[in-house]
Chains A and B, each alone.
Chain A
Amino acid sequence: MGGDEALVEARGLRKSYGAVEAVRGIDVTVRRGEAFGFLGPNGAGKSSTMRMIAAVSPPSGGTLRVLGMDPTDDGPAIRSRLGVCPQEDTLDSELTVRENLLVYGRFFGLSRPEVARRADELLAFVQLSDRAGARVEQLSGGLKRRLTVARSLINEPEMLMLDEPTTGLDPQARHLLWDRLFRLKQQGTTLLLTTHYMDEAEQLCDRLVVIDEGVIVAEGSPAQLIRDHSSREVCELRFGADDHQGVAERIQHLGERLEVLPDRLLVYAADGEAVAQAVHEGGLTPRSTLVRRSTLEDVFLHLTGRSLAE
């Protein structure tokens, strides 16, 4: 079992819904054991790609191999080895928390005793044991998400696919989930996730692609992407006046690059403090100044000219 075995291989993969081209020719390779992410804004084509890989959506073009098989021909065989956590929770609201796991496990052909054993383990794993008998409707969004993750693990999948696993969760629930995903990764489960949170991508992903309007605009590890597509530091300036464009022209030369956002200016430079100082010395008095390290957000802004979190 080499670490370079490809679990997903997509070449020129496309997906259209009628006239809408959601995915417009992407190349992706996901290797066993890695945590791979799709980072992109709303409508980028992340879910469409995930659904094709999960063998529940036929590709419109290109080639796709998942676990060495063709999703069009071998859907059931592929799905039996995947764990899927869809963007919208699809829990069975007519069943209890524990029954959701039992029934789902049976869909994978697991025996009743086996599925009961795993259900109890998984409930403990996502800290839901005390809610085992509750109806799903009674769960909060965060608890539902945890149950969905537990459900996706019932067949001990080789690859776990998570479509925006933490959207809508509070920071605490989020960190709990990240912790659980991290443990799975250490146990050797391959993770494939989508997100539009750069911190999530930075925390969880070994490698990621930035996807925008159905195409891949960059690929690499979080650190590498930041290195390649942004400066080391960023100086964020807010001015009271709404003459950002005018100010921008005056301070353009201070950094390698400058972005004008509706509420602030971003000056990209190796030394952010130096930029802040030069701005003050130039006679400008921003209402606030913040120097920080570059993040994937900056990478995204640079590559697409748009902000990730709209």
Chain B
Amino acid sequence: MAAPAVRPPLGRFAAQHLVERNYLVYRRDWVVFVTGFLEPLLYLLSIGLGIQQLVDDFVLPDGTRISYTEFVAPAMLAASAMNGSLFDATFGVFFKLKYEKVYDAVLATPLRPVDVAVGELVWSLLRAAIYAAAFVAFMALLGLAESWWALLGPLAAVVIGYAFAGAGMALTTWMRSWQDFDFITLAVLPMFLFSATFFPLDRYPDAAQWLVQLTPLYHGVVLCRGLTTGAIGLEMLVAVGYLAVMGTIGLAVACRRLGALLLR
């Protein structure tokens, strides 16, 4: 009895096909894609045009003097990487998981839950990198990023996106309805305001400083600020480690949970 011809196995990176699918969808909804650029830009403009007049320049630990806008701009870069990747990994994934049933169809093909999780993650990181590249270019144009290190801004956005998308996707697998997403908003908003985004860590009360340093966005801000100001330091390495571990744990949990939810 001749065995039927076995088809060539899928490439090692089967998740790319899910990225392709998302690209097809977004190619049509380019408006959604473009709005992703706007949010951080608007923040930056409002600060650069308005608040900067009221605030003195900063002196960084290494002695460099920077304007308030230069101080806040990298934080906007980090925050937009967080928001963008969270949006894709939470709302986007929930919609496809519970309403569209996209993954039910995907898992009837050779793809596995890990391919779904990785595919969605890669997709959101691609977006984060593109937005970040545009934002850094804009910063350079306004003279807000004088250091060559700023070229690594998109890479920092990918690391930040990885952390938040991984964790967000993992949490999404426990969501029962859209209401549950309020918990994420509840965590994100204070983080946005108090992760040394708008004022430096040493201005926080002593007791709050260690709390701030525990949040992932704080580390994202440290990373971006180091790159755009050129004040490179060891704390950036710590930040990368923190974010990488957070993303990896999130991704591993998301894989398991997606498998349990979809392959019942």
Contacts and interface: CB of A to CB of B under 8 A. Distances in A.
Interface stretch (B3-11, B79-87, B127-135): B3-11
Interface stretch (B20-28, B46-54, B220-228): B20-28
22 contacts: A56-B262, A57-B263, A76-B10, A76-B110, A77-B6, A77-B110, A80-B10, A90-B101, A90-B108, A92-B100, A95-B21, A99-B24, A103-B17, A103-B24, A104-B105, A107-B106, A107-B110, A107-B111, A108-B109, A109-B10, A109-B14, A109-B17
Given A58-B263, A103-B24, A108-B110, A92 B2 contact: no
A287 B67 CA distance: 96
Interface string B83-121: 000000000000000001110111111111000000000
A293 interface: no
Contacts of A79: 108-110
Nearest to B105: A90
A81 interface: yes
Interface of A: 1-2, 5, 17, 54, 56-58, 67-68, 75-77, 79-82, 84, 86, 88, 90-95, 99, 103-104, 106-109, 155, 158
A92 B100 CA distance: 7
Contacts of B2: 1
Q: Across chains A and B, which 10 residue pairs bring their CB atoms closest together, nearest first? A: A107-B109, A90-B105, A76-B110, A109-B10, A80-B110, A84-B108, A94-B25, A106-B17, A90-B101, A103-B21
Contact of B105 (A68, A82, A92, A99): A92
Contacts, number: 88
Nearest to B100: A93
A109 B263 contact: no
Nearest to A79: B110
A17 B260 CA distance: 12
Contact of A95 (B1, B24, B112, B263): B24
A95 B17 CA distance: 14
A80 B24 CA distance: 23
B264 interface: yes
Contacts of A109: 7-11, 14, 17, 110
Contacts of A94: 25, 100
A67 B4 contact: yes
Contacts of B11: 109
A88 B108 CA distance: 13
A56 B102 contact: no
A103 B18 CA distance: 8
Contacts of B9: 76-77, 80, 109
Contact of B1 (A2, A17, A54, A106): A2
The DSSP consensus for interface residues of chain B is loop
Bin chain B's interface residue count. 20 to 34
Contacts of A82: 108
A88 B101 contact: yes
Contacts of A92: 21, 100, 102, 105
Nearest to A15: B264
B257 to A, nearest CB: 15
Contacts of B21: 92, 95, 103, 106
Given A57-B263, A77-B110, A5 B25 contact: no
Contacts of A5: 1
Contacts of A17: 264
A73 to B, nearest CB: 12
A2 B1 CA distance: 6
Given A67-B4, A91-B105, A92-B102, 9 more contacts: A1-B1, A5-B1, A57-B264, A75-B112, A81-B7, A94-B25, A94-B100, A108-B109, A109-B8
Contacts of A58: 263
A96 B9 CA distance: 27
Kindly name the residue among B6, B10, B109 whose own CB sees the greatest number of chain A CB atoms within 10 A.
B109
Nearest to A82: B108
B111 A76 contact: yes
A93 to B, nearest CB: 6
Contacts of B7: 80-81, 108-109, 155
Contacts of B105: 86, 90-92, 104
A104 B100 CA distance: 15
Interface string B27-60: 0000000000000000000000000000000000
A88 to B, nearest CB: 7
Contacts of B107: 56
A104 B111 CA distance: 11
Q: Select the residue from B100, B101, B105 with max chain A CB neighbours within 10 A.
A: B105
B94 to A, nearest CB: 15
A103 B20 CA distance: 8
A91 B99 CA distance: 11
Contacts of A84: 108
Nearest to B101: A90
Contacts of A1: 1-2, 4
Given A5-B1, A92-B21, A94-B100, A76 B264 contact: no
A285 B111 CA distance: 64
B24 A86 contact: no
Contacts of B20: 103, 106
B86 to A, nearest CB: 20
